[in-house]
A and B are shown apart, each in its own frame.
Chain A
C-alpha cells in the first residue's frame, strides 16, 4: 500500500486523473484505508472546485493580498 507522503505528492495529479490507471487505483485504495488522507483529498478537491467555479465570477480589481489576514 502507498504511504501517506507518496499519496500527498500525487493528489494534485489524482484530482485531474493525470496518473496511470494503476496509480489511480492504488491511491483510491489508500484513501479507503487511511484515516488521515481522505480529509486532505476532500480539502484539495474543494479548493479545485472553488477555483473552477471562479471562472464565471466577476473579477475584483486591485485585491490586496493582505486584506483577509485579519478576518
Chain B
C-alpha cells in the first residue's frame, strides 16, 4: 500500500540528513562509551527521538545537528549514570570560579616530545579517566570541533560552565601527556 504522506510527521530526518550526521554521531558516541554496538544503539535511538511525538525539535530554533548531539549526549549521560551509579550533574554546577585553580606546570617537563601516535594513545586513555561531563565537553569541542555555543547548547549548559569544564579537561590531558613525556 503506498504511503500516505499526510501520515508522516514533519521531521528533518531524511536519508541525506542521516548520511551526513551519522558518522559524526557515531564518533561522538563511540569515543564516549567505547563500545561500538552500544554506540550504534545510542545513535539509532537518537535519530528515532526525532520521530517521537514528544520530540522538542524546533527547526526555527537551531540546527538539527545541535539538537541530535544534545539528545545523544543526554543518552550517553544516562548510560554513565546507569553504569557508574553516580550523579553526573555535579560537574554542571561548576562556575567560572573554577578557573582560579592554578594549573600545576613544570616547564622542564615539556622538553621531551613523544611521537604523535603514542600521544594519541596517552590522551585517549586519559580522556576515559576524566569526569563524565569534562569528557563530553572535550569530545565535543576538541575532538569533534563543535563551536562552543553549539556544544553548550547540546549539553544543556551555559558557555561559562563549558569554558570551565574545557579548561579543566584540557589541563588534565596536558598533564597526562607531560607525565608520559617524562617516562
A1 to chain B, nearest CB (A): 18
Q: Is B79 at the interface (CB under 8 A from chain A)? A: no
Chain A, 32-62, contact with B by CB distance < 8 Å: what is the 0/1 string? 0001100110111011101111110101111
Q: Which residues of B contact A61 (CB under 8 A)?
A: 34-36
Chain B interface residue bracket vs A: 35 or more
- In the complex, which residues of chain A have a beta carbon less than 8 angstroms from the beta carbon of B48? none
Instruction: Say yes or no: is B148 at the interface (Cβ < 8 Å to chain A).
Output: yes
For A71, the chain B residues whose CB sits under 8 A away are 180, 183
Q: Determine whether B177 belongs to the interface, using a CB cutoff of 8 Å to chain A.
A: yes
A side interface size, CB within 8 A:
35
> Contact: B119 with A5, CB < 8 Å?
no
Let me know if A8 and B105 touch, CB within 8 A.
yes
Instruction: Contact check, B173 vs A65: say whether CB atoms are below 8 A apart.
Output: no
Q: Nearest chain A CB to B112's CB is how many angstroms away?
A: 11
**What does DSSP make chain B's interface, helix, strand, loop or mixed?**
helix
A10 neighbours in B (Cβ, 8 Å) = 99
CA distance A31 to B128 in the complex (A): 31
Q: Which residues of A contact B163 (CB under 8 A)?
A: 12-13, 18
**Contact of A18 with B110 at beta-carbon distance under 8 Å, contacts A40-B103, A50-B116 already known:** no
Q: Which residues of A contact B123 (CB under 8 A)?
A: 47, 50-51, 54
Chain B residues close to A by CB (< 8 Å): 27, 30-31, 34-36, 99-100, 102-103, 105, 107, 110-111, 113, 116, 119-126, 128-129, 138, 141-145, 148, 163, 166-167, 170-171, 173-174, 177-178, 180, 183
